Amino acid sequence: MASFDPDRISLPGGHYIHGRLVRETGTLPVSRPSDGKVYAMLPSADAGYVDAAVDSARRAFGGSDWARRPPRDRARAMRRWADLIEADIDYLAALESLGSTRPIDQARAWDVPYTAEGIRFFAEFADKCGGEVAATAHDHLGMQIAEPLGVVGAIAPWNFPLSMTCWKVAPALAAGNTVVLKPSEMTPFSAVRLATLAVEAGIPPGVFNVIQGSGPVAGEALCRHPGVAKVTFTGSTGTGRAVMRACAETGPKPVTLELGGKSPQLVFADVPDLERTAQTLAAAITGNAGQVCVAGSRLLVERPLLEPLVERLRQRFATLEPGLTWHAGTRFSPLISDAQARRVETIVSRAREAGAELLTGGTRFDTESGGCFYRPTILQVGASDNPAVREEIFGPVLTIQAFDDEEEALGLAEHEIYGLAAGVHTADLGRALRAVRRLSAGTVWVNRYGRSRDYILPTGGYKRSGIGRDLGRAAYEANLHHKSVLIDLTP
């Protein structure tokens, strides 16, 4: 798709409850990250709207045939949904890039196709995980029967709105549940379009509902609603604690939480292709302007490579220029808001005051657009208690620490708070496997970094980086509970 005019895109504003768009007066301003313009006013769901959405989902769970539908038929409807998403790529990609940090080229090449294929992936589980027969006495029959939970409450973040919605909604629906989704109030519209397409595909009204609003009001009400059987959330560790607290106090009910990260990348001097490694490292911190939970934000480099690697990273960072997300060819994203830009600036300033050396970047781009674009930044750091090493920045800021041997590298990689992801770059397979065993991280990439379309691999965190897993069979099974059955066969 070529560049498009952001003022000509129609917006599916409102909540989506029981198969219809519910419009009301908007009270929350929604801004475009690329130019800072307020382009919509979003309605904010109070407890009454949340109750209506949950009631819709409960009625669909009990009254429609979705949970009782033959699993292959449920999968067939989800595949039709995925086909409609792909056919709607022009509109969905424009909605995604208009109000988020996702450039239009990337929304078309990655976000929309990834979402459609993710729905197909989870649809395939519908008739694959049905329980099991247990080993019991010969005159008994023991079974475990898998059943859907009921209404799943989902809260999606703003950094990848479409794909994160897929992570939350697709496994829940494939397992026979119904869903009430609250997208981020900063990126609210693509989720409504997904829900509309679901109904067009033959998924019954009420199976997938969307409520708009803020986290402290709509999100809190959703987590605390007694009709919600489970909550799945992606976002910050602090908000994840609030979600867990609300679910504990009103349930307890299970949660899946993908939370913050401060992911290390270990680069050893034997990497076979330094240029390729530098390209991988640069993409891991500049993709989506660093606004990625698994961003490779801590670079640990064997000392002989320090200077040549820094120089190659500088060269790559220098080629990145800010661009409007609705312009074809844009490669570098804006930060989501001025508040986020100020947060990045504050942490960088504190890091320098604590002794970090600024090697490149460290300021905003000077643009006329009105958007917040922060220069890719490298901070060379000595002590691991530096704020830039300890705190999740969620911006294009890379810290570098040098090490002299493998043991020192693994010690520096350990983080007392986070354990979401890590990268290892080496030609020594033994060293790579030793690192994989030692690293406290839910995902470890070797000689690469970042997600691919390997939906089968679950993702999640250690420590305060989360509970439970998205993606993979684990995500599907997390939307089921199991009933034990024992039958006496004695005449």
The answer for residues whose C-beta is within 8 angstroms of residue 314's C-beta and 6 or more apart is 359, 360, 378
Active site residues: 258, 293
The number of CA neighbours under 13 Å toward the Cβ of 112 is 26
Contact 182, 219 (CB under 8 A): yes
SS3 181: strand
CA distances from 22 to 19, 49, 62, 270, 323 (A): 9, 10, 23, 59, 34
* Length of the chain measured in residues: 491
SS3 61: helix
Bond preceding residue 205 cis, omega within 30 of 0:
no
What is the C-alpha to C-alpha distance for residues 1 and 253, in angstroms, rounded to an integer? Answer: 43
* Measured CA angle at 459 (ends 457, 460), to 5 deg: 150
> Could you tell me how far CA 481 lies from the centroid of its own chain?
24
Q: What angle, 0 to 180 degrees and rounded to 10, lies between the N-to-C axes of helices 189-200 and 71-87?
A: 130
> Given the structure tokens 């899946």, which residue do they identify?
256
SS3 325: coil
105 token code pair: 């080229």
- CA-closest candidate to residue 156, choices 100, 207, 90, 79: 100
The answer for residues whose C-beta is within 8 angstroms of residue 429's C-beta and 6 or more apart is none
Using CA atoms of 301, 302, 303, 309 in order, give the dihedral in degrees to the nearest 10: -50
Using CA atoms of 326, 327, 333, 337 in order, give the dihedral in degrees to the nearest 10: -40
What is the C-alpha to C-alpha distance for residues 461 and 233, in angstroms, rounded to an integer? Answer: 13
What is the C-alpha to C-alpha distance for residues 313 and 101, in angstroms, rounded to an integer? Answer: 23
Burial zone of 86 (CB within 10 Å; 0-12 exposed, 13-18 middle, 19+ buried): middle
**What values do phi and psi take at 115, rounded to 5?**
-65, -45
* Measured CA angle at 39 (ends 36, 45), to 5 deg: 110
Burial zone of 214 (CB within 10 Å; 0-12 exposed, 13-18 middle, 19+ buried): middle
